Amino acid sequence: MKMSLAKFSAIVPAAGKGSRIARRLGTKKVKPFLEIGGVPILVRSLKMLEQVPEVSEIIVATAPRHRALVLAMARQFAIRKLRRVVAGGKTRTDSVFNALRASNRKCPFVLVHDGVRPFILAATVRKAIRCFLKDPSSGLIVGRPAIPTIKEVRSGLIAKTLDRSLLWEIETPQIFERETLIRAYDHFYSRRLKATDDAQLAEMIHVPVRTFQCEEENMKITTPEDLDKAGRILDAAEFRVGTGEDRHRLKPWRPLYLGGLRVPSSAGAEAHSDGDVLIHAIVDALLGALGLGDIGEFFPDTDPKFKGGKSTRFLEKVLGMVRGKGFEVVNVDSTVVLEAPKLSPWKKKIQGNLAHLLGLSADQVGVKAKTSEGLGPEGERRSIAAHAVVSLRRKKICCG
């Protein structure tokens, strides 16, 4: 029997202004919307959560004037789990509380993650979730043992040197049972206390909180220097390229699928699956970039399991492998060779659908259509072909 996944509401406070960064960059954009490597910081954090299967909904708390912007970004980058965008409060605690109230009560667990902490891997968050679920009555926070020597200073004089072996730097996600977090917030607001993170609220009601060591970069982008460092982390990334191609015989009356869409045609691809040559070429390019072989090795056409199979499922599966290895897709370019019907009215739709399937924005997905001028099997309308190139990026994993 398949275990059903535990359900988590992911709460993302993103109401910070970051006016220092904005001043230095001479922009009016607030921190979560600044871009690193061409993608807004908040989108990077949300895309990571999107890839965690246990997360069933995402609630973002942001300034009310940015609500429409967050919704537009979610559409552009295919963040499908975003359920609500609520008003952020004066403090981080207020923002988290507003989002908590708007989250689905049927999700038994809550995971809070800073909107400006974009680098932790979905795989690490899953490990933290698994660790949390071993004993959900206590909370769990991600962090790492402190490296610098830290001293307590009073009126400019050192009062004492803290024992470094006992100190941790605390990051997010911070994970709790919903009921525990609600109780912690009730306690906090009823007594007008002060706190800087969710774990501190749990401590106040004597709920044990465990730590989970994050091995990779999980910086919070707070200062202009952080933004520079974030850029350097991306610059130090490893890049991969893959190519793929596919060709299928055309048969009258078969449906024609391209990029996951059905395109009206008097003939379609003869295939074991739905014969989506464009997706097959992209899947091969993704596998090629990872050095994993080709589509036939993973979805053999001799396996009855894949008969009539949807190619979009193949793509989903392979994207999971890409992400599992820590890569993200940077862009995809492709060409379909087909004599008829003319694909020009369909190119934009196919591009949009592929972008949606790949979790990319449309300008990261190229879809070109060509005829073969009557030459060769495509030109003679006997077949359809597709070519694809993909590029992948994996950030270098580093600490500190």
Q: How far is the CB of 270 from Mg ion (least distance, A)?
A: 10
- The reply on whether position 114 binds Mg ion by CB under 5 A is no
Cβ pair 133, 33 in contact under 8 A? no
Q: What amino acid is encoded at 123 in this protein?
A: A
Q: How far is the CB of 375 from Mg ion (least distance, A)?
A: 22
In this complex, which beta carbon is closest to Mg ion, that of residue 118 or of residue 244?
A: 244
Q: How far is the CB of 241 from Mg ion (least distance, A)?
A: 21
Q: What amino acid is encoded at 29 in this protein?
A: K
Contact pattern from residue 282 through residue 311 relative to Mg ion, giving x for each residue in contact according to CB under 5 A and a dash for the rest = ------------------------------
Cβ pair 215, 124 in contact under 8 A? yes
In this complex, which beta carbon is closest to Mg ion, that of residue 38 or of residue 300?
A: 300
Give the binding-site size for Mg ion (rule: CB under 5 A): 2
- Residue number closest to Mg ion, CB atom: 280
First-to-final CA distance of the chain: 42
In this complex, which beta carbon is closest to Mg ion, that of residue 247 or of residue 356?
A: 247
In this complex, which beta carbon is closest to Mg ion, that of residue 54 or of residue 246?
A: 246
In this complex, which beta carbon is closest to Mg ion, that of residue 56 or of residue 312?
A: 312
Q: How far is the CB of 282 from Mg ion (least distance, A)?
A: 11
In this complex, which beta carbon is closest to Mg ion, that of residue 216 or of residue 245?
A: 245
Query: Any long-range contacts for 193-199 (C-beta under 8 Å, 24+ apart)?
Result: 195/93, 196/92, 197/92, 197/141, 197/170, 197/172, 198/96, 198/112, 198/139, 198/141, 198/174, 199/139, 199/141, 199/170, 199/174
Of 142, 266, 163, residue with least CA distance to 213: 142
In this complex, which beta carbon is closest to Mg ion, that of residue 246 or of residue 378?
A: 246
In this complex, which beta carbon is closest to Mg ion, that of residue 280 or of residue 323?
A: 280
- The reply on whether position 246 binds Mg ion by CB under 5 A is yes
Q: How far is the CB of 246 from Mg ion (least distance, A)?
A: 4
Backbone dihedral angles phi then psi of residue 56, each to the nearest 5 degrees = -100, -15
Helices and strands: H and E segment counts in the chain:
13, 18
178 Cβ contact partners less than 8 Å away, ≥ 6 residues apart:
9, 103, 105, 107, 108, 109, 110
Q: What amino acid is encoded at 104 in this protein?
A: N
- The reply on whether position 280 binds Mg ion by CB under 5 A is yes
In this complex, which beta carbon is closest to Mg ion, that of residue 125 or of residue 269?
A: 269
- 85-110: b or e for each residue (b if 16 or more CB lie within 10 Å)? bbbbbeebbbbbbbbbebbeeebebb
β-sheet bridge partners, residue 160:
152
- The reply on whether position 274 binds Mg ion by CB under 5 A is no
Q: How far is the CB of 274 from Mg ion (least distance, A)?
A: 10
Q: How far is the CB of 275 from Mg ion (least distance, A)?
A: 6
Q: How far is the CB of 277 from Mg ion (least distance, A)?
A: 6
3-state secondary structure of 66: helix
Largest CA distance in the chain: 86
Q: What amino acid is encoded at 50 in this protein?
A: E
Contact pattern from residue 158 through residue 187 relative to Mg ion, giving x for each residue in contact according to CB under 5 A and a dash for the rest = ------------------------------
3-state secondary structure of 322: helix
β-sheet bridge partners, residue 87:
62
Segment contacting Mg ion by CB under 5 A, of 49-57, 246-254, 285-293, 356-364: 246-254
Q: Cα(393)–Cα(395) distance, rounded to whole angstroms? A: 7
In this complex, which beta carbon is closest to Mg ion, that of residue 47 or of residue 280?
A: 280
Q: How far is the CB of 273 from Mg ion (least distance, A)?
A: 7
Q: How far is the CB of 385 from Mg ion (least distance, A)?
A: 10
Segment contacting Mg ion by CB under 5 A, of 106-114, 223-231, 238-246, 322-330: 238-246
Segment contacting Mg ion by CB under 5 A, of 160-168, 176-184, 278-286, 299-307: 278-286
Binding residues for Mg ion (CB under 5 A): 246, 280
